[in-house]
Amino acid sequence: MRLFVQFKPVKHLLSLLVSLILLANTPAAAQQASLAGNVIHLPVVTFMDQLFQIELSIVAGSNPVEVLLVHASELTDANTDGASSFDGVTLSIPSIFVDGVNYWVNFSLLTAEPPTFVLAAAGTAIANPPLQNCTRPEPDLSHGPDETTLISGFLVPPSEIFDGGPGPDGIPAIQSPLFTNAFAITDIQPENLIIGVKIGDDVRAYPHSIMDYHEIVNDRFSFDGLNRDVSLSYCPLTGSAVLWKSFLSSANTSSGVSGLLYNSNLILYDRETQSLWSQMLEQAISGEETRRIPEKLQVVETTWKTWLQMYPQTLLMMIEPSEFNFPYEFFPYGLYRSDSSLLFPVNNSDDDRLHRKERVLGINVGNSSKVYPISRFAAGISVVNDRIGDMDMDVVAAGSAGQNFAVVYNRQLEDCTTLNFNSVKNQLPVVMIDNEGNRWDIFGTALSGPRAGTQLQKTNSYIAYWLAWTAFFPAADIYQ
């Protein structure tokens, strides 16, 4: 017998939380929680990349109900479908039968020694919801018209493409990014903006201050055990960041900065075919790959302080001092981020409904477009349940003016259930809770509740300056 010390990501706390007997080395046969007398048996509990089997004893006479952890065993393998989960604060049981009724139950950690939880919320569980006769509107993969006419081999007017000056690769993309968790050796400041990426348990932050000078990072992540190259791009002139998966058929999956701009926005080129790609249209606009659309991945832009609060285990991209000779502490375009100046022509430049450099979260649904100015969210976290476009897509936008982030997801699930959300404050990365009691993080994943593990569908959306959004997508609605 020994104390297990990794169950909660605070040093030594889990050694107090659970005393483990490391005897269980075989998969659990079922994940359904059960109640026998005053003992709750949880066959599989997930925590980060670990699995456990635990037993809880109901404390007699407690009101609200308290349970004491009396036994826990580590599992080396188990089916996690429908498993309970623990995030260090909340123990979520998605399904347990009591007197013939199926419930979901959330317990909050009350004390670490002895390890005790208190009932936080409960409700009738949804077990195998029946299929409904409906079709969930799917996001349009393309930001632009589906049928566009080529003009001299381009999807956009060639006369509106401008040479930014440096030429191809004059702005050097980062090919082998370097990351650190020794944040003190970097110049990152709490209010500096970063681009946050979370793929599984791999969490990385890319500072705007570095992206301002490089615009593209060619990186690699593991997706379901398969390593895939990705390209993260950020255009400092339009304030837009997107992340694309590479094409498996490509021998050279990296992208570079072409030196060209359309609507003041970055045009990438792929090194395999030399095709040109519009960052904000998120598709190839010229060359062999014309009209091809990459697989898009979710990013979160926020301050370093907020990101670190959400994901203290994050890695931070840094630059070796000897690798490049850029003054990263200075923005390369002077006062451009705050004034009304333009360095290159853009369409629809007289749309003054918002300040040109207002940062907005924009979304395209079919022929409809809408933006949510980040400044119009509450200082804390606020949530907007909305419906957009002629496709009637139900979405949820969550954001914070004070913490400087905004995301938007499809709130209709694959089983056709449309959820309604409210904000959750001071529990980052959890930002919202739905009408069923599920708690969702900033990447649209249910961390607890009856739908724990469910992923909200990504939408055709990202953050950009107003000057760019209205140039690419004129007549966009503005959330008031």
Burial (CB count within 10 angstroms: exposed 0-12, middle 13-18, buried 19+), residue 343: middle
Q: How much is the pLDDT for 233?
A: 98
Same domain? 90 vs 170: no
Same domain? 166 vs 296: yes
- Tokens of residue 299, six digits: 């990013």
208-266 residue pLDDT tens: 999 999 999 999 999 988 999 999 999 999 999 999 999 878 889 999 999 999 999 99
Termini Cα distance of the chain = 59
Closest by CA to 246, choosing from 174, 315, 299, 297, is: 297
Q: What's the CA gap between 39 and 43, in Å, rounded?
A: 13
Q: How much is the pLDDT for 17?
A: 38
- Which helix (H) or strand (E) is 309 found in, with range? helix 304-310
Which of helix, strand or coil describes residue 375? Answer: helix
* Sole residue written with tokens 């649209």: 444
Please state whether the predicted TM-score (pTM) of the whole model is above 0.85. no
For residue 146, the number of C-alpha atoms closer than 13 Å in the C-beta half-sphere is: 6
350 within domain boundaries: no
Same domain? 191 vs 111: no
Domain boundary among 318, 351, 371: 318
Q: What is the mean pLDDT of residues 449-470?
A: 96
User: Is residue 51 predicted with pLDDT exceeding 90?
Assistant: no
Highest-confidence segment of 83-92, 119-128, 442-451: 442-451
Which of helix, strand or coil describes residue 306? Answer: helix
Q: What's the CA gap between 181 and 189, in Å, rounded?
A: 14
User: Is residue 2 predicted with pLDDT exceeding 80?
Assistant: no
Q: How much is the pLDDT for 163?
A: 97
113 within domain boundaries: yes
Same domain? 88 vs 184: no
Q: How much is the pLDDT for 134?
A: 67
Q: Which residue range is the domain that position 474 belongs to?
A: 359-478
| pLDDT band of 7, cuts 50, 70, 90 | very low
Q: What's the CA gap between 229 and 254, in Å, rounded?
A: 8
- Transcribe 110-140 into DSSP letters: EEETTEEEEEEEEEE---SPPP-S--PPPPP
Looking at the 3D structure of the chain, how many domains does it have? 3
Q: How much is the pLDDT for 16?
A: 35
Q: How much is the pLDDT for 1?
A: 23
Same domain? 287 vs 170: yes
Residues 6+ apart with CB under 8 A from 40: 33, 34, 55, 56, 57, 58, 67, 93, 96
Q: What is the mean pLDDT of residues 124-136?
A: 59
Same domain? 166 vs 65: no
Same domain? 311 vs 202: yes
For residue 390, the number of C-alpha atoms closer than 13 Å in the C-beta half-sphere is: 3
Q: How much is the pLDDT for 464?
A: 98
Q: Mean pLDDT in the chain?
A: 88
- Other beta carbons within 10 angstroms of residue 74's beta carbon come to 18
260 within domain boundaries: yes
